């Protein structure tokens, strides 16, 4: 039975909080703290079976987070705010000696660049403090890391290639919206693509490599190679991989809008002067786009996200795909969220439970694939993300 502090009150935090409440044998009390307290209150009002309190916090200020921790005394802090806050929240956890979990790796606000080095640099300090940080406990990263570890443990003597396939075949009925925080999402997909091959990462122009992929339960969808953070940790922890790529589907309408927004300068992250004040165009764009947490109501269709691995088992070549299919409308019915928030929030809740139950134990900073995948794979279906396997069919 554990008290947990959840930071953030957006689309994903709503799912995390409700899922924690469903798992009340582990999560006995929650404090939801975010920049806008009314959003925390709204989430709290949907939970009746465990005590939930709320607070206002600016998580960019480590001291504010530390003060909340001192007051509430949680066993774990779940950072479900934005990647910009990762380091300030990790600093607060270190100061107060509390475990840490997040769903996205750190990126500085003034540079569209994300990598694990900043957070991995905390390893020794977390170790000395006798606490653990679990990084990237969402779906991708998160579930995809666990799928890869599971494939290695049960299906391969040697993994040669990894292709992470992320398909959202849903329709929210809006002309243009992003499924998670618009600022973070647009920064991610407008960067050059990168994939790993023969010992190093190779850069290609954004959205330049694509092909149709036939997704189970969905069908053909155009899929684009882009860089995603779990590639960095997976090739580190599975150095046998000769190639690792990440594919994501985009509809033509989405790409056309994105192209226009980029061409007119609305995705810029450097400040511009407007009527005497400095504004960052991408931050302004975020303010006028729908919030991810509001997309669920009319969302239909499914997501299919999984890992294809090609390698060798018992001296024979093997192709294996492990994946989840999630239905937007079903998610909305259960927790008033669309499937992207849902597929992120459920692994965050379960990653937290693995720490709190002492099943995943360690001192330092860890990625999901460093722990035994079996207990996670055994439970994740029960919490809403059942997985399936296909052997012998190559999707890409």
* Binding positions for ligand NDP, rule: CB under 6 A: 7-13, 34-36, 39, 57-60, 80-83, 85, 103-104, 136, 138-142, 180-181, 184, 291-293, 340-341, 344
Per-position b or e across 44-55, b if 16+ CB within 10 A of its CB: beebeebebebb
Residue of closest CB approach to ligand NDP: 10
**Least gap, CB of 162 to ligand NDP (angstroms):** 17
**Least gap, CB of 123 to ligand NDP (angstroms):** 20
Cβ atoms of 331 and 337 within 8 Å: the answer is yes
**Least gap, CB of 141 to ligand NDP (angstroms):** 5
Residue linked to tokens 């927004």: 261
Q: Sheet harboring 52-56: ordered strands across?
A: 52-56, 27-34, 2-7, 76-79, 99-102, 132-135, 364-367
Cβ atoms of 140 and 164 within 8 Å: the answer is yes
**Least gap, CB of 242 to ligand NDP (angstroms):** 25
Q: Which is nearer to ligand NDP, 142 or 281 (by Cβ)?
A: 142
Cβ atoms of 144 and 192 within 8 Å: the answer is no
Phi, psi (rounded to 5 degrees) for 177: -160, 160
**Least gap, CB of 316 to ligand NDP (angstroms):** 33
Q: Which is nearer to ligand NDP, 292 or 311 (by Cβ)?
A: 292
Q: How many CB atoms lie within 10 A of CB 287?
A: 11
**Least gap, CB of 293 to ligand NDP (angstroms):** 5
Q: What is the DSSP string of 88-142?
A: HHHHHHHHHT-EEEESS----TTS----SHHHHTTHHHHHHHT-EEEE--BTTTB
For residue 155, with 0-12 CB atoms within 10 Å meaning exposed, 13-18 middle and 19 or more buried, which class applies? middle
The angle formed by the CA atoms of residues 92, 93 and 99, to the nearest 5 degrees, is 165
Tokens of 137: 């406990």
**Least gap, CB of 182 to ligand NDP (angstroms):** 7
Q: Which is nearer to ligand NDP, 112 or 242 (by Cβ)?
A: 112
Q: Which is nearer to ligand NDP, 12 or 213 (by Cβ)?
A: 12
Tokens of 372: 């035994």
Evaluate the omega torsion of the peptide bond into residue 247 and state whether it is cis, within 30 degrees of 0. no
Q: Which is nearer to ligand NDP, 25 or 111 (by Cβ)?
A: 111
* Alpha-carbon span 61 to 119, nearest angstrom: 17
* 3-state class (DSSP) for residue 226: coil
Task: Calculate the CA dihedral of residues 236, 240, 243, 247 and round it to 10 degrees.
Answer: -60
Q: Which is nearer to ligand NDP, 104 or 356 (by Cβ)?
A: 104
* Alpha-carbon span 153 to 327, nearest angstrom: 29
**Least gap, CB of 7 to ligand NDP (angstroms):** 6
**Least gap, CB of 6 to ligand NDP (angstroms):** 10
**Least gap, CB of 102 to ligand NDP (angstroms):** 7
* 3-state class (DSSP) for residue 170: coil
Q: Which is nearer to ligand NDP, 81 or 261 (by Cβ)?
A: 81
């Amino acid at each position: 039975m554990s008290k947990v502090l959840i930071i953030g009150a957006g689309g994903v935090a709503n799912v995390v909080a409700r899922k924690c409440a469903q798992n009340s044998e582990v999560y006995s009390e929650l404090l939801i703290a975010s920049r806008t307290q009314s959003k925390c209150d709204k989430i709290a009002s949907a939970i009746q079976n465990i005590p939930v309190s709320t607070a206002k916090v600016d998580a960019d200020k480590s001291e504010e987070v530390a003060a909340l921790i001192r007051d509430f005394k949680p066993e774990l802090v779940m950072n479900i705010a934005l990647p910009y806050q990762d380091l300030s929240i990790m600093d607060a956890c270190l100061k107060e000696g509390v475990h840490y979990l997040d769903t996205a790796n750190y990126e500085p606000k003034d540079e569209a660049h994300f990598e694990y080095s900043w957070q991995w640099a905390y390893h020794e300090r977390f170790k000395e403090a006798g606490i653990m940080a679990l990084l990237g406990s969402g779906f991708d990263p998160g579930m995809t890391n666990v799928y890869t570890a599971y494939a290695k443990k049960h299906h391969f003597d040697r993994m040669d290639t990894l292709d992470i396939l992320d398909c959202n075949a849903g329709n929210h009925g809006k002309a243009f919206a992003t499924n998670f925080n618009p600022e973070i999402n647009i920064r991610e997909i407008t960067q050059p693509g990168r994939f790993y091959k023969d010992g190093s990462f190779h850069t290609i122009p954004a959205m330049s490599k694509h092909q149709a992929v036939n997704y189970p339960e969905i069908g053909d969808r155009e899929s684009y190679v882009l860089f995603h953070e779990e590639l960095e940790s997976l090739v580190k922890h599975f150095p046998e991989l000769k190639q690792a790529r990440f594919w994501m589907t985009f509809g033509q309408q989405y790409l056309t809008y994105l192209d226009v927004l980029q061409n007119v300068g609305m995705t810029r992250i450097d400040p511009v002067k407007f009527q005497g004040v400095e504004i960052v165009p991408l931050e302004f764009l975020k303010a006028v786009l729908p919030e991810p947490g509001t997309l669920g109501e009319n969302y239909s269709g499914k997501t299919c996200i999984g890992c294809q691995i090609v390698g060798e088992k018992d001296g024979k070549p093997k192709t294996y795909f492990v994946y989840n299919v999630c239905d937007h409308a079903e998610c909305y019915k259960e927790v008033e969220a669309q499937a992207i928030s849902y597929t992120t929030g459920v692994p965050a809740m379960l990653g937290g439970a693995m720490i709190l139950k002492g099943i995943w134990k360690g001192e330092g900073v860890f990625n999901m694939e460093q722990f035994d995948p079996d207990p996670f794979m055994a439970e994740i279906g029960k919490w809403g993300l059942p997985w399936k396997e296909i052997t012998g069919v190559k999707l890409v």
